[in-house]
Amino acid sequence: MSILHDLIAVAETAGLGTAASDLFAGLMPDAPDRCAAFQSYGGATPLRTVPCNTSHEQAAVQIAIRAPTYDDAEAWSYALWHALTFTNTTVGTTRYLESAPQQSPFLIRREQNARPILGFNLYIRCRPSR
């Protein structure tokens, strides 16, 4: 699975949502009112070791959380923030060395229906199985 789907699986396991129902990879749909979008963006150069040339991916992911009220969006943001902060964990076939937030949840914007969208960014270091 991809990093986005692995993170969604971690959120599901923590009881914080359901994939394709209120947790989405790569987009934030217009509905439902309460949802979270997991989006990858530029990370860092993979780490390589010599002589075996094993690489560790260094990815970056933004989690954007929308809810009808600011309080609901903030509470869900912090719940996801805590659940997605981990070290030395295997999800599926990928070994995650670190999933670390880069900041606390913050207001990104209010969309056209005045629903708040909060978010935070994760730095991910992982080693996919071969």
pLDDT digits (tens, 9 = 90+) for 15-71: 999 999 999 999 999 999 999 999 999 887 777 776 666 678 899 999 999 999 999
Q: Which CATH number applies to 3-128: 3.40.50.1220, 3.30.2000.10, 3.30.160.340, 1.20.1050.10? A: 3.30.2000.10
- Sketch the domain layout of the chain as residue ranges: 3-128
Q: How confident is the model at residue 125 (pLDDT cuts 50, 70, 90)?
A: very high
59-91: burial string, b at 16+ Cβ within 10 Å, e else: bbbebbbbbeeeebbbebbebbbebbeeeeeeb
Alpha helical stretches, state H, the chain: 3-13, 70-83
CB 59 within 8 A of CB 3: yes
Report the pLDDT value the prediction gives residue 130, as an integer from 0 to 100. 58
32 upstream amide cis, omega within 30 of 0: yes
The mean predicted confidence, pLDDT, of the chain is 93
Q: Which two tokens stand for residue 4?
A: 């986005």
Share of the chain above pLDDT 90, in %: 83
| Confidence (pTM) | 0.92
Q: How confident is the model at residue 119 (pLDDT cuts 50, 70, 90)?
A: very high
